[in-house]
């Protein structure tokens, strides 16, 4: 099964718990849409698909423009489907994506995107290749296209525990054959200093530096080498609506007990906010210097170079605050878990949410309600305090292409002793823009309260209310939302235990 039903109350630390696992597939696909009789849009999709109930899967998906004339076109949402064996190494696959987004001045209307697909894949062991026919439709826009999609899948295993086991220690026997892995979550701020030839999509020069806020995730394959994924959006520089989504590799070199240097390269999609990235394909090189504040926290500075398929190119300067977490990954079955590395289960939540921003101010025309679809990832630091990362896109309200990325923290207050009813108080900030919503430079602040009713041991309903305010823009509106949350625990160990 995907993740077993679990109690919502936190368990006492020190008690042993059983570690469980589920198959996961990281799937990448590329397809070209016909968005007009004489224009194509090259779209790259990335999907994190968790298998449950044998043949069924579910998970988050993102799509980014990589070719054409619509750099800055992004959509995000969720994919559900089934993958069934039809021969020794052959599978047929069908599924449905529902999400929201847009950008790049594409005719996406309000932003809702629906994508069913039907295909066939061949399993090569550690890799699968596939072909599929997909149909993409923006029901309240003018994009409707049927095309062929090529993809590849990378299978691996996710290890987890029940939410009831949060705070408990994993049985040593359950760690046999697993390897310790370091991961890092970084909050990032960067400034792009564009080259003199850089132009806007309207042909004007870009005289202003571009500031972006975002986050980066690193997964270390060994002590020095890591994979990275990053997302960021404009928070200043007269380019609200600019966004980027990239993945790559990096290498860390320790210089002393607290100092280290890093080098990284990333590729992906970027654009929006009138920044000329042409079809969206962009790349970034970076060099960094990092200082370890505590075993779990670090501070870094960086410099690098950004290039795009369009005229936009820039020198990059930035800083980040990082949080280190040790976790586990599959290894040789005969390997014993290293002594002195106790592993405990930390509480996590994944939330799928719909928000309505009331009377959202527009750059042109009268304010009107804005409807958003997105998700949150939340990690508890203790029994009550959690940190959150969020991403949303418009699906209705005449603002297709409007997107939001937030990071923040919250406090959960139980209203019943069994924690089935609880109140969350949360404050988040980040970047937003696109869709002609008046967000000024792109920085927004969003306080929120959520009333949570846990329906069973894993799933809960959330009624959310808050306010979203922009820095320098007219957007200052109340917000209401309805969400479904999914709770589990994740095996982690502190850096004091593996440094």
DSSP calls for 66-117: EESS-TT-EEEEEEEEEEEESSSSEEEEEEEEEEEEE-TT-S-TT-EEEEEE
The string of pLDDT tens digits covering residues 71-89 is 999 999 999 999 999 999 9
Give the confidence band of 205 by pLDDT, cuts at 50, 70, 90.
Answer: confident
Q: What is the DSSP string of 166-205?
A: TTPEEPGGGGTTEEEEEEEEEEEEEEEEE-TT-BBTTS-B
The string of pLDDT tens digits covering residues 214-229 is 999 999 998 899 999 9
- Write down the pLDDT at residue 110: 94
- Write down the pLDDT at residue 170: 86
Q: How far apart are CA 207 and CA 216, in angstroms?
A: 28
With DSSP H G I counted as helix, E B as strand and the rest as coil, what are the percentages for the chain, rounded to 5?
0, 65, 30
- Write down the pLDDT at residue 335: 60
Q: Is the pLDDT of residue 191 over 60?
A: yes
Mean pLDDT of 335-361: 87
Beta bridge partners of 123: 128
Mean pLDDT of 258-280: 95
Mean pLDDT of 296-302: 95
What is the chain's mean pLDDT, rounded?
A: 90
Mean pLDDT of 178-188: 91
Give the confidence band of 1 by pLDDT, cuts at 50, 70, 90.
Answer: very low
Residues of the chain above pLDDT 70, percent: 94
Give the burial class of 30: count Cβ atoms within 10 A of its Cβ; 0-12 exposed, 13-18 middle, 19 or more buried: middle
Structure letter (DSSP) for residue 163: G
Q: Regarding predicted confidence, which is higher, 328 or 333? A: 328
The string of pLDDT tens digits covering residues 88-97 is 999 999 999 9
- Write down the pLDDT at residue 196: 83
The string of pLDDT tens digits covering residues 110-169 is 999 999 999 999 999 899 999 999 999 999 999 999 999 999 999 999 999 888 888 888
């Amino acid at each position: 099964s995907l993740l077993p039903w679990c109690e919502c109350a936190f368990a006492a630390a020190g008690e042993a718990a059983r570690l469980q696992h589920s198959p996961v597939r990281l799937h990448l696909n590329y397809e070209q849409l016909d968005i007009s009789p004489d224009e194509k849009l090259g779209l790259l999709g990335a999907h994190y698909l968790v298998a449950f109930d044998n043949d069924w899967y579910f998970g988050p998906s993102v799509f980014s423009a990589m070719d054409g004339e619509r750099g800055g076109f992004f959509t995000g949402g969720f994919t559900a489907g089934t993958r069934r064996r039809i021969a020794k190494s052959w599978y047929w696959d069908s599924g449905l994506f529902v999400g929201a987004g847009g950008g790049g001045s594409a005719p996406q209307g309000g932003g809702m995107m629906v994508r069913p697909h039907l295909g066939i894949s061949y399993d090569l062991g550690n890799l699968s290749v596939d072909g599929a026919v997909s149909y993409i439709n923006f029901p309240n826009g003018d994009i409707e296209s049927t095309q062929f999609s090529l993809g590849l899948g990378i299978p691996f295993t996710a290890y987890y525990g029940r939410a009831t086991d949060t705070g408990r220690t994993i049985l040593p026997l359950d760690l046999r054959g697993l390897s310790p892995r370091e991961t890092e979550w970084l909050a990032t701020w960067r400034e792009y200093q564009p080259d003199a030839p850089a132009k806007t999509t309207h042909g004007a020069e870009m005289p202003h530096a571009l500031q972006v806020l975002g986050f980066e995730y690193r997964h270390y394959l060994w002590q020095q080498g890591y994979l990275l994924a990053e997302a960021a959006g404009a928070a200043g520089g007269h380019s609200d609506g600019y966004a980027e989504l990239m993945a790559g590799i990096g290498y860390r070199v320790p210089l002393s007990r607290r100092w280290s240097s890093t080098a990284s390269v990333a590729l992906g999609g970027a654009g929006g906010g009138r920044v000329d990235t042409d079809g969206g394909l962009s790349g970034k090189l970076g060099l960094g210097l990092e200082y370890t504040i505590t075993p779990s926290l670090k501070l870094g500075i960086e410099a690098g170079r950004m290039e795009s398929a369009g005229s936009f190119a820039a020198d990059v300067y930035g800083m980040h605050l990082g949080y280190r977490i040790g976790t586990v990954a599959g290894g040789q079955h005969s390997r014993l878990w290293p002594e002195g590395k106790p592993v405990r289960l930390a509480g996590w939540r994944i939330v799928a949410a719909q928000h309505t921003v009331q009377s959202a101010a527009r750059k042109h025309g009268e304010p009107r309600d804005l409807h958003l679809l997105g998700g949150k990832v939340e990690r508890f630091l203790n029994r009550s305090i959690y940190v959150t990362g969020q991403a949303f896109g418009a699906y209705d309200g005449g603002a297709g292409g409007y997107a939001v990325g937030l990071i923040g923290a919250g406090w959960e207050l139980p209203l019943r002793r069994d924690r089935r009813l609880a109140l969350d108080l949360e404050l988040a900030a980040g970047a937003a823009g696109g869709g002609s919503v008046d967000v000024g430079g792109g920085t927004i602040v969003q306080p929120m309260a959520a009333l949570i009713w846990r329906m069973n041991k894993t799933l809960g309903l959330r009624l959310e209310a808050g306010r979203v305010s922009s820095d320098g823009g007219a957007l200052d509106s109340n917000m209401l939302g309805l969400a479904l949350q999914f709770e589990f625990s994740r095996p982690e160990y502190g850096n004091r235990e593996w440094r």
